[in-house]
Amino acid sequence: MLIETKGLSKYYQHKDGLVEAIKYIDLSFDQGDFITITGPSGSGKTTLLLLLAGLIRPTSGSINFQGHELNSSSDNKLAGIRSQHIGFVMQNFSLIPYLSVLYNVLLPLSLHKHADSSRNDYAVRLLDKVGLKDRMNHLPKELSAGQQQRVAIARALVNKPKLILADEPTGNLDPALSIEILEVLKQINVENKITIVMVTHSPVASGYGNLKINLVQGRIVNKVCSVVTDEFLS
């Protein structure tokens, strides 16, 4: 088991009163799962993703990541877990505009004091995998939106993560480009057995998951497990 949550809750104090963003979430994900999280705006989707990343701490409950209790870990340990085991893909790509494609992919490794000398070669191989090896010396502004998201995916893979957390990765893309990015994510999930947890508003995107979770007002109202066939890779 990669991740397990028990009684996970997150409350915020607001001027208008207590906001119960996440309430009593029990979940477990295995290595190689593709989890999609859907729900209306304000249902707690992004809050749940931030909790799983250890970027915010729960009000109550627990999160276990491969034997590490995240809620009782120090900030330094959480940062180490993220840098070694978690990749992120965001809606707005979050690329550094003045760095080349290659150096954007390499950016997560800049935190590693003893980075392997072959890291450049590995980054180039990742760019080849997402079809952008010939653009590695370009700046982000010289790429299309779909290409920029492919760079973000390569960057998420460069630390060889066990988990990728994706927050609306197709939210800024047109339908055709959305399918393109979803196919890349699914291929990575199947071939590399990397667990993906993806927040999405898109019914099409949610269909790529083998575990589909629907949140309403911070609670799981529906959870569906299914087998994803090869049609998503065709």
Q: Which residues are CB-contacts of 150 (< 8 A; sequence separation ≥ 6)?
A: 130, 131, 132, 181, 184
pLDDT in tens, 120-133: 889 999 999 999 99
Whole-number pLDDT of residue 212: 94
Q: Which residues are CB-contacts of 72 (< 8 A; sequence separation ≥ 6)?
A: none
Which amino acid, residue 30? D
Fold of 3-229: Rossmann fold (3.40.50)
pLDDT tier, 227 (very low <50, low <70, confident <90, very high otherwise): low
Phi, psi of 43 (to 5 degrees): -85, -10
Mean pLDDT of all residues in 124-153: 94
Lowest model confidence (mean pLDDT) among 70-74, 143-147, 230-234:
230-234
Asked if 182 and 170 touch (Cβ cutoff 8 Å), the reply is: yes
Fill in the DSSP letter of residue 42: T
Q: How far apart are the first and last CA of the chain?
A: 29
Indicate whether 231 pLDDT > 80: no
Residue ranges covered by each domain of the chain: 3-229
Asked if 209 and 29 touch (Cβ cutoff 8 Å), the reply is: no
Whole-number pLDDT of residue 17: 86
What are the helix (H) ranges across the chain? 45-52, 75-85, 101-106, 119-129, 145-157, 175-192, 203-206
Q: How far apart are CA 52 and CA 58, in angstroms?
A: 10
pLDDT in tens, 15-31: 888 889 999 999 999 99
Q: How far apart are CA 44 and CA 31, in angstroms?
A: 24
Which amino acid, residue 71? N
Is the overall model pTM greater than 0.85, yes or no? yes
Q: Within 10 Å of residue 12's Cβ, how many Cβ atoms?
A: 12
Look at residues 197, 216, 204 and name the one whose alpha carbon lies nearest to residue 27.
197
